[in-house]
Amino acid sequence: MSDQITDMDVFFNPKSIAIIGASDTFKFGYTMTKYLLESNFKTYPVNINKDVIFGHKMFKNINDIPDDIELVIVVVNNEHVLQIVKDSVKKGVKGIIIETAGFAETGIEKFVKIQEEIELIAKNSNVRIIGPNCVGVTNFNNKFTTTEIDFNQSIEGGTISIIAQSGVLGNIFVEWSASQKIGFSKTITLGNKVDVDEIDMLEYLEKDENTNVITLYLEGVKRGPKLIEILRKLTKPVLILKNGRSEIGSKAIKSHTGSIAGDDKIYDAIFKQYSGIYRVNNFYEMFDIAQVFATQPLPKGKNIAIITSSGSLGILACDEIERLGLKLAVLNESTIQEMKSISPNWTSLKNPVDLGPSLFMTFNKSLKAILNDENVDALLHIFAVPQKPLETFSIPITPHLKEMRNLSTKLNKPIITCVFGSRWVLEYFLKHSHKYKIPIMTQISHAIKTFRFMYDFSKSNKNMNTDIEI
Amino acid sequence: MSDQITDMDVFFNPKSIAIIGASDTFKFGYTMTKYLLESNFKTYPVNINKDVIFGHKMFKNINDIPDDIELVIVVVNNEHVLQIVKDSVKKGVKGIIIETAGFAETGIEKFVKIQEEIELIAKNSNVRIIGPNCVGVTNFNNKFTTTEIDFNQSIEGGTISIIAQSGVLGNIFVEWSASQKIGFSKTITLGNKVDVDEIDMLEYLEKDENTNVITLYLEGVKRGPKLIEILRKLTKPVLILKNGRSEIGSKAIKSHTGSIAGDDKIYDAIFKQYSGIYRVNNFYEMFDIAQVFATQPLPKGKNIAIITSSGSLGILACDEIERLGLKLAVLNESTIQEMKSISPNWTSLKNPVDLGPSLFMTFNKSLKAILNDENVDALLHIFAVPQKPLETFSIPITPHLKEMRNLSTKLNKPIITCVFGSRWVLEYFLKHSHKYKIPIMTQISHAIKTFRFMYDFSKSNKNMNTDIEI
């Protein structure tokens, strides 16, 4: 037990696993079963209908397995789940992930009852249960997963963890992290939460040394006061997406995971009251903001500089800066003169610094001048360049990313790059940005909101940075 | 003159063109020059320094060209622009597009003065001038462009037109339209607006039979009362993105195109007052909404049905529906029963209809049941499916798109598909969606806002649809 940080650890680092309902035909659970059986995780397949699967002996029942089992993953039909939970408790397992759907969320009395019985078993035994109606967890640190993801493809990890409810999204997050270089540490889906809930996982992630930023998607909450208590104590930044703001949204939650949304106004007030807790509006915003917390230093003040290749987008950013109570940095005259000495006469060098197409000659020097200006606390870099000339001139973007990384680290100032245009430009940046840890996003409003949240976090008691506010 | 709908027509259908500052070296104007010289548009290159370019004789001066010239495109250095405008007027051209930057937006007195002189020439002659500080126009109907785009690649046109200021964005819009299948009719950038402004272009687009939806990006307005008058008269839907909401944004506009932003509150009030005019927050929202106006019928009421593969995203959509004053459609019991007869017992069939992974067996039949329900006015389709199983099962999405198109046309109800996940899913849909004219977007909030705007438009006096509101 000494290497476990909480009893949640069994879900992320199980020493032995049984998959109940394991299958080698194309159905739910297939990809996970194949992956785990072929991995180094000690995995036993259980299915009453077959003898061998992917070259592994199949067991009829978990109690036939001649070994201790720490974690059970359940993907059988909803009708059989209760018996399997009973068998697992008898076997002495530590954790069960019930992925099967079709319980309280159906509203059908029979299935609501089964869920209640499972809940009771969890309460009266030492077993911890995740689900039902979820896809469990993925641990990017040891490549353990109970989702439908093939971890053999290269997926770079990171320090962001997410707690969510939905099964479908749990699979998509992992894929997304690979394509968008989000850099996850753990993804967790909790489904109907008969036992393990967001509070257990928040406690786990607070202690998890691979997690620096926590993102939380909430539908309903069963232990409200306890959630408030833990949120207050957390030292890591938490981004919360809370569904069911509306009356019709709340009703829909009931048929999704059988939870009660609760009064949104109360949640909103609580989230606003605690520093380090930030509410976001959708998943895109959530991950855009999280990746900056995960990779960039906190700003020491509110003064934002903008370097852009499009004047119009620079102005859109100004509107957001004012709307969110930040300031447009006033550049020193010497900074402007430094840029003027290397720029064509038609460029606009007051903040927002609009380099237009001269960008490729003057970017790195302008960047250096701006970031060295003590009136600048953070930089928004807006990249809007048509593909054709960029390809024609074969202009590489890595020198820009490299210099941003160098200066950001050296001067301890956060940088965000917003790209604008067709999808090629995002691909083009994502190919390199992860290496240099420069966060890439497509929405200027997300970037400015990020700076606001980071500034607030830097001023909160949760942060050791105690520089004086300007 | 009989084939011209206004004097703006010369910018979109010029019979003869001169490019001043034409170049065959890699600089601004290169791609356009090459494209136009190799096209069927009668184009004469003018450059004092060369004799031949891309196999075409180069002229030293526009007045050396032994032919009438309708349109002049200027890409020379800012110092030479005034003389070229004078030469062009002498030659009797109808239109000039000055792409060169470095005028009033620099704040340098010398260049501000040059711009004023050009403005005066436009006022006192018959010539119409677009710019300076822009990239002119693209006409997708005849493939004429003054932007840095190679029209030889296949770019599908459409019925959305955009009026903007910025040069950089003008190029990007065209690229974007190709990759995102936005379907433009005309893209127009106006730069510093010494003469031609958004009012001229709104009048043109209102008459243009290839334009059904007008999108307008505004920084400053010089003829406020006239703009209000034309906005009131327009019969086509207009989506406006107005920059400079904030004080610091307004200041930035001055150094961008030398315009005055004006009091944002006044604009906001005006935009709200006129039906058919809708304010948006960014370009993504603008084009997402425009593509639905361009391809879908207007909803007859406020009742939105949702069909989703992710319960969580369905609930997020519910929150947006309530926030924007729409209604979640209450499905007929017969509709629910029809779906129940083909669905697994764990699916949630009340609106939002959450099909989960059963989507691929039951989508088309569920879709048909929902859209045939007279309580449904519009459908939001949320597609969130991991890539791996989709590829494993090789499930084609075209039958879904085809059926959506069929039913949408037959029943006259709008449909929007929101995809969620990594970029592959967007690519996957975009490959086919354009053919079936099902609008694809990634943001649920944009989809619901679209339904709200379309509903409002259907109730406005600008629309012939006079069905009774429920």
**Mean pLDDT value across residues A84-100:** 96
- Identify the three-state secondary structure at position A129: strand
Q: Is the pLDDT of residue A321 over 90?
A: yes
State residue B94's pLDDT score: 97
Per the CB < 8 A criterion, the answer to whether A132 and A165 are in contact is: no
Instruction: Show which of residues 117-146 on chain B sit within 8 Å of chain A, judged by CB atoms.
Output: none
- Interface check for A252 against chain B (CB to CB < 8 A): the answer is yes
Q: Is the pLDDT of residue A411 over 80?
A: yes
The shortest CB-CB distance from A148 to any of B309, B352, B389 is to: B389
CATH classification (class only), A296-459: alpha beta
- Interface check for A364 against chain B (CB to CB < 8 A): the answer is no
Going by DSSP bridges, is the β-strand pair B52-53/B56-57 parallel, antiparallel, or unpaired? Answer: antiparallel
**Mean pLDDT value across residues B39-59:** 92
What is the average pLDDT value for chain B, to the nearest integer?
Answer: 88
State residue A347's pLDDT score: 75
**Mean pLDDT value across residues B240-261:** 74
State residue B171's pLDDT score: 79
**Mean pLDDT value across residues B190-196:** 95
Q: Is the pLDDT of residue B161 over 90?
A: yes
Q: Is the pLDDT of residue B246 over 80?
A: no
Listed in order, strand segments (DSSP E) in A168-302 are: 184-189, 213-218, 238-242, 277-279
State residue A267's pLDDT score: 75
A247:B322 CB<8 A: yes
**Mean pLDDT value across residues A388-407:** 82
Give A1: exposed, middle or buried? Use CB within 10 Å, 0-12, 13-18, 19+.
exposed
The shortest CB-CB distance from B352 to any of A252, A350, A427 is to: A252
Q: For residue B347, give every residue at least 6 positions away whose Cβ sits within 8 Å of its Cβ, in sequence order, or none.
A: B339, B353, B354, B355, B356, B358, B362
Say which residue, B354 or A204, is predicted with more confidence: A204
Banded pLDDT at B148 (limits 50, 70, 90): confident
Banded pLDDT at B272 (limits 50, 70, 90): confident
Instruction: Show which of residues 30-69 on chain A sit within 8 Å of chain B, judged by CB atoms.
Output: 30-31
Token readout for A428 is: 């083009």
B166:A310 CB<8 A: yes
Instruction: Show which of residues 294-353 on chain B sit within 8 Å of chain A, judged by CB atoms.
Output: 309-316, 318-319, 321-323, 328, 344-346, 348, 350, 352
State residue B259's pLDDT score: 64
B344:A310 CB<8 A: no
Token readout for B392 is: 């494993």
State residue A249's pLDDT score: 75
Cis status of the peptide bond prior to A414, with omega within 30 of 0: no
The shortest CB-CB distance from B312 to any of A256, A422, A442 is to: A256
B171:A217 CB<8 A: no
**Residue A108: Cβ within 10 Å count:** 15
- Identify the three-state secondary structure at position B296: coil
DSSP of A350-410, one letter per residue? SSSEE-GGGHHHHHHHHHHHHHH-TT-SEEEEEE---HHHHHHTT--SHHHHHHHHHHHHH
Query: What percent of chain A has pLDDT above 70?
Result: 93
Residue type at A197 in one-letter notation = D
Q: Is the pLDDT of residue A252 over 80?
A: no
Q: Is the pLDDT of residue A470 over 50?
A: no
Dump pLDDT digits (tens) for B321-360. 999 999 999 999 999 999 999 988 777 788 999 887 777 7
Do A9-289 and A296-459 come out as alike in CATH topology?
yes
The shortest CB-CB distance from A424 to any of B179, B245, B389 is to: B179
End-to-end Cα distance, chain B? 49
DSSP of B79-139, one letter per residue? GGHHHHHHHHHHHT-SEEEE----SGGG--HHHHHHHHHHHHHHHTSS-EEE-SSS--EEE
What distance lies between CA A462 and its chain's CA centroid?
20
Radius of gyration of chain B (CA): 25
Q: What are phi and psi of B443, to 5 degrees?
A: -110, 120
A142-156, B340-354, B452-466: least confident range: B452-466
Instruction: Show which of residues 390-409 on chain B sit within 8 Å of chain A, judged by CB atoms.
Output: 392-393
User: If you measure CA to CA, which chain A residue comes closest to B326?
Assistant: A248
Q: Looking at the complex, report in whole angstroms how far the Cα of residue B3 sits from the nearest Cα belonging to chain A.
A: 33
End-to-end Cα distance, chain A? 49
Q: Is the pLDDT of residue B254 over 80?
A: no
- Identify the three-state secondary structure at position B418: strand
Q: Which CATH architecture has domain A9-289?
A: 3-Layer(aba) Sandwich (3.40)
Residue type at B253 in one-letter notation = I
State residue A258's pLDDT score: 66
Q: How far is the C-alpha of B72 from the C-alpha of B85, rounded, in Å? A: 9
Exposure b/e, B316-330, CB count within 10 A at least 16 = b: bbbbbbbebebebbe
Dump pLDDT digits (tens) for A30-78. 889 999 999 999 999 999 888 898 889 999 999 999 999 999 999 999 9
Banded pLDDT at B255 (limits 50, 70, 90): low
Per the CB < 8 A criterion, the answer to whether B378 and B297 are in contact is: no
Per the CB < 8 A criterion, the answer to whether A332 and A371 are in contact is: no
Instruction: Show which of residues 254-283 on chain B sit within 8 Å of chain A, judged by CB atoms.
Output: 255-257, 281-283
DSSP of B227-268, one letter per residue? HHHHHHH--S-EEEEE---SHHHHHHHHHHHS-----HHHHH
Q: What are phi and psi of B230, to 5 degrees?
A: -70, -40
Q: Is the pLDDT of residue A407 over 50?
A: yes
Question: What residues are paired with B279 via a beta bridge?
Answer: B240
Q: Is the pLDDT of residue A1 over 50?
A: no
State residue B422's pLDDT score: 75
Structural domain boundaries in chain B: 9-289, 297-459
What is the average pLDDT value for chain A, to the nearest integer?
Answer: 88
Say which residue, A406 or A173, is predicted with more confidence: A406
A386:B108 CB<8 A: no
Supply the DSSP symbol for A414. Answer: -
Residue B384: list chain A partners with CB under 8 A.
168-169, 172
A16-25, B364-373, B387-396: least confident range: B387-396
Q: Is the pLDDT of residue A345 over 90?
A: no
State residue A257's pLDDT score: 66
**Mean pLDDT value across residues B22-40:** 86
Say which residue, A112 or A260, is predicted with more confidence: A112
Token readout for A269 is: 């007030």
Going by DSSP bridges, is the β-strand pair B43-46/B238-242 parallel, antiparallel, or unpaired? Answer: unpaired
Residue A309: list chain B partners with CB under 8 A.
168
**Mean pLDDT value across residues A161-182:** 82
Q: Looking at the complex, report in whole angstroms how far the Cα of residue B253 sits from the nearest Cα belonging to chain A.
A: 7
- Identify the three-state secondary structure at position B351: coil
Q: How far is the C-alpha of A237 from the C-alpha of A230, rounded, in Å? A: 13
Say which residue, A245 or B36, is predicted with more confidence: B36
Per the CB < 8 A criterion, the answer to whether A103 and A114 are in contact is: yes
Residue B31: list chain A partners with CB under 8 A.
388-389, 392
Residue B180: list chain A partners with CB under 8 A.
422-423
Token readout for A45 is: 């397949």
Q: For residue B120, give every residue at least 6 positions away whose Cβ sits within 8 Å of its Cβ, in sequence order, or none.
A: none
State residue A440's pLDDT score: 93
Q: How many residue pairs from chains A and B have C-beta atoms closer than 8 A?
A: 263
Q: How far is the C-alpha of A125 from the C-alpha of A116, rounded, in Å? A: 14
The pTM for the full model equals 0.89
Banded pLDDT at B50 (limits 50, 70, 90): confident
Dump pLDDT digits (tens) for A350-372. 899 988 777 778 899 999 999 99
Q: For residue B321, give every residue at least 6 positions away whose Cβ sits within 8 Å of its Cβ, in sequence order, or none.
A: A246, A248, B304, B327, B328, B448
Residue A343's closest CA among A357, A324, A332?
A: A357
Dump pLDDT digits (tens) for A209-229. 999 999 999 887 888 888 888
User: If you measure CA to CA, which chain A residue comes closest to B422?
Assistant: A176
- Interface check for B183 against chain A (CB to CB < 8 A): the answer is no
Angle at B248 between CA B245 and CA B250, to 5 degrees: 55
Q: How far is the C-alpha of B71 from the C-alpha of B67, rounded, in Å? A: 12
Question: What residues are paired with A328 via a beta bridge?
Answer: A304
Dump pLDDT digits (tens) for B203-230. 999 999 999 999 999 887 888 888 888 9
- Interface check for B150 against chain A (CB to CB < 8 A): the answer is yes
Banded pLDDT at B151 (limits 50, 70, 90): confident
Cα-based torsion angle of the residue sequence B348, A165, B439, B367 in order, rounded to the nearest 10 degrees: -10
Per the CB < 8 A criterion, the answer to whether B163 and B205 are in contact is: yes
Token readout for B83 is: 């003389």
| 3.40.50.10860, 3.40.50.261, 3.40.50.1110, 3.90.1150.10: CATH of B297-459 | 3.40.50.261
State residue A203's pLDDT score: 95
Cis status of the peptide bond prior to A132, with omega within 30 of 0: yes
Banded pLDDT at A468 (limits 50, 70, 90): very low
A7-21, A280-294, B110-124, B240-254: least confident range: B240-254
Residue B440's closest CA among B462, B458, B456, B423?
A: B423
Say which residue, A122 or A398, is predicted with more confidence: A122
Sheet holding A17-20, edge to edge: A43-46, A17-20, A71-74, A95-98, A128-130
Banded pLDDT at B389 (limits 50, 70, 90): low
State residue B406's pLDDT score: 95
Q: For residue B267, give every residue at least 6 positions away whose Cβ sits within 8 Å of its Cβ, in sequence order, or none.
A: B218, B221, B242
Q: Is the pLDDT of residue B465 over 50?
A: no
Q: How far is the C-alpha of B270 from the C-alpha of B276, rounded, in Å? A: 12
State residue A224's pLDDT score: 82
State residue A173's pLDDT score: 82
